[in-house]
Amino acid sequence: MSAIKNVAIIGGSGTLGTPTLRYLLDIKHFNITAITRSSSSATFPLGVKVTKVDYDNKHDLVNAFRGHDAAILIVGASVMHTQLALVEAAGEAGVQWIVPTEFSSDTANKKLMEQISFFNIKDQTRAKIQNLGMNYIAVICHLWSAFVSFSLFRVQKQMLKLPYPEH
Ligand SMILES: NC(=O)c1ccc[n+]([C@@H]2O[C@H](COP(=O)([O-])OP(=O)(O)OC[C@H]3O[C@@H](n4cnc5c(N)ncnc54)[C@H](OP(=O)(O)O)[C@@H]3O)[C@@H](O)[C@H]2O)c1
């Protein structure tokens, strides 16, 4: 197996992507490209090559992934399906390793998958990676209680600010 040197990160400006990218930079081992949507206003730290691309343009997306050994995908939960196009383009570009957007419950657990259909797209993504002959590392870290409680707290705070409905 050849050494992993060139790494692309998608979602490197997000809640989880930001510290992940920071860490990758800090260890000073990889050449990092942040692939970001052409419509995104995301900004990235110095030392990161930024490639803006229209995810619907497969040709450009394949070119964005070309020359990378690995790709880390950290897309938001509501746009998880975009991973399928990203994985396909990465496969065509010759990327060998993918870290898909997992970062939650164990999606290899069949019983769990039957209960929570929301996770099916993660399963489909892993299957696609394998079908295209690539390797993956799924980071299974379960629920981040602090993150989730903070999000719920924020929602509750917003609800408190809502005016009473008028009749
Ligand atoms: N275990 C837990 O409790 C827990 C909690 C929260 C999240 N998570 C996991 O972490 C993942 C990432 O969450 P996050 O909060 O870091 O995500 P996020 O900040 O909401 O979004 C991550 C990135 O998604 C990209 N994105 C936004 N809209 C998009 C679109 N329409 N199409 C394609 N890409 C789009 C953006 O990148 P660009 O602007 O650069 O394109 C953004 O920086 C989640 O999907 C979930 O699997 C786990």
- pLDDT of the residue at 167: 42
Which contiguous run of DSSP H or E holds residue 21?
helix 17-26
What average pLDDT does range 132-146 have in this prediction?
91
CA of 81 from ligand 1 middle (Å) equals: 11
- pLDDT of the residue at 144: 82
At residue 164, does pLDDT exceed 60? no
Pick the atom of ligand 1 nearest to 148's CA: 3
Residue 1, in any domain of the structure: no
Residue 96, in any domain of the structure: yes
Share of the chain above pLDDT 90, in %: 74
Residue 94, in any domain of the structure: yes
- pLDDT of the residue at 153: 63
At residue 141, does pLDDT exceed 50? yes
Residue 157, in any domain of the structure: yes
Spatial CB neighbours of 147, under 8 Å, sequence gap ≥ 6: 15
Q: What confidence tens digit (pLDDT) does each residue in 36-55 have?
A: 999 999 999 999 999 999 99
Token duo for residue 106: 């164990």
What is the domain extent for residue 84? 6-161
Residue 167, in any domain of the structure: no
- Which domain CATH number covers 128? 3.40.50.720
At residue 166, does pLDDT exceed 50? no
Tell whether ligand 1 has an atom less than 6 A from the beta carbon of residue 16.
yes
- Pocket residue to mutate for ligand 1, from 23, 49, 75, most atoms within 8 A of Cβ: 75
Rounded to the nearest 10 degrees, what angle do helices 58-65 and 82-93 cross at?
Answer: 60
Residue 166, in any domain of the structure: no
Mean residue pLDDT across the chain: 90
Tell whether ligand 1 has an atom less than 6 A from the beta carbon of residue 40.
yes
Split into its structural domains, the chain has a count of 1
**Ligand 1: which residue has its CA nearest to atom 9?**
103
pTM of the model: 0.90
Residue 47, in any domain of the structure: yes
At residue 162, does pLDDT exceed 80? no
